[in-house]
């Protein structure tokens, strides 16, 4: 019996699409605040790709940046006392966006738009709002399908592997600028109807000119 030579294991990572993040900017003229992330994808095999159907999940990685004492105090509701942060600063899901990347050969750029609100009940928004400055560590996770031309121009389909990802440090200023364009000088907190009615009654009783005055009075 002849034993054949061991066959090399193909390096699939060398043939997978490679993603990177180029930049970010607020999206103008939208109903809610939104950011446009400019991304880049390259195909190491150089295939004529008809379309790339992607789902892009964006998560925040709190453990990948440093915090001063004042910021840790603002984030205690999310992560608890500072001595627990090694265990509690887990990734926060921010958004999942579907996008179709037009046909290309070799490499191309595309955009992912991420709308978001000012709802501080959402963990990712609460985290972003609590940061004073600096950068936000992000991880982009990609899944989907690659439709490309195979031999004799036959349509072939391949999966984007679960390992496809890109890490990037977003300037917090981009998030703040998008919020300021929609809520200049303020924001909002979601309250139930009963709470709003009670707040309105207190405002009338106190003779306050605005809800800001009423809330300040309640805060003492």
Predicted confidence band of residue 196 (pLDDT cuts 50, 70, 90): confident
Q: Work out how many domains the chain is built from and give that number.
A: 2
Q: What is the pLDDT of residues 31-46, one digit of tens each?
A: 788 899 999 999 999 9
Q: What is the pLDDT of residues 150-177, one digit of tens each?
A: 887 788 999 999 899 999 999 999 988 8
126 and 198 together in one domain = no
Is the residue at 2 inside a domain?
no
Q: What is the pLDDT of residues 85-139, one digit of tens each?
A: 989 999 999 999 999 999 999 999 999 999 876 666 688 888 998 999 999 999 9
Coil, helix or strand for 88?
helix
Q: Is the dihedral of CA 207, 209, 211, 212 positive or negative?
A: negative
Coil, helix or strand for 50?
strand
d(CA 116, CA 126) in angstroms, rounded, equals 12
Residue 119 exposure: Cα atoms within 13 Å on the Cβ side: 10
Give me the percent of the chain exceeding a pLDDT of 90. 54
Instruction: Name, of 21-25, 147-151, 175-179, 215-219, the range with top average pLDDT.
Output: 21-25
The domain containing residue 30 runs over which residues? 12-185
DSSP designation for 37: E
Is 2 a residue whose pLDDT tops 50? Answer: no
133 and 194 together in one domain = no
**In 129-139, which positions are buried (b, 16+ CB within 10 angstroms) versus exposed (e)?**
bbbeeeebbbb
125 and 211 together in one domain = no
Residues sharing a CB contact under 8 Å with residue 52, sequence separation 6 or more, in sequence order: 17, 41, 100, 101, 144, 145, 146, 147, 160
Predicted confidence band of residue 185 (pLDDT cuts 50, 70, 90): low
- pLDDT value at position 1? 38
112 and 198 together in one domain = no
49 and 133 together in one domain = yes
16 and 124 together in one domain = yes
Instruction: Return the structure tokens found at 117.
Output: 């609100």
CATH code for the domain of 87: 2.60.40
170 and 218 together in one domain = no
10-15: long-range contacts, CB 8 A cutoff, minimum separation 24: 12/161, 13/163, 14/44, 15/44, 15/45
d(CA 216, CA 160) in angstroms, rounded, equals 52
43: which strand partners? Answer: none
Give me the percent of the chain exceeding a pLDDT of 70. 87
Coil, helix or strand for 92?
strand
Is the residue at 123 inside a domain?
yes
């Amino acid at each position: 019996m002849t034993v054949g030579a061991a066959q090399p294991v193909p390096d699939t990572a060398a043939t997978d699409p490679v993603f990177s993040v180029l930049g970010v900017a607020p999206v103008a003229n939208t109903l809610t605040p939104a950011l446009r992330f400019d991304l880049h994808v390259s195909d190491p095999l150089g295939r004529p790709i008809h379309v790339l159907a992607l789902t892009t999940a964006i998560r925040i990685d709190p453990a990948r940046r440093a915090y001063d004492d004042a910021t840790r105090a603002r984030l205690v509701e999310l992560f608890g006392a500072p001595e627990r942060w090694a265990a509690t600063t887990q990734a926060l899901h921010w958004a999942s966006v579907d996008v179709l990347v037009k046909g290309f050969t070799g490499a191309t750029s595309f955009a992912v738009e991420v709308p978001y609100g000012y709802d501080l009940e959402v963990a990712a928004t609460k985290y972003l709002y609590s940061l004073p400055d600096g950068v936000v560590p992000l991880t982009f996770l990609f899944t989907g399908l690659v439709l490309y031309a195979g031999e004799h121009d036959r349509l072939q389909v391949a999966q984007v592997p679960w390992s496809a990802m890109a890490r990037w440090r977003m300037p917090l200023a981009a998030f703040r600028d998008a919020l300021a364009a929609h809520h200049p000088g303020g924001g909002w907190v979601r309250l139930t109807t009963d709470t709003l009615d009670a707040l309105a009654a207190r405002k009338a009783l106190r003779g306050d000119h605005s809800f800001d005055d009423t809330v300040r009075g309640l805060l003492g």
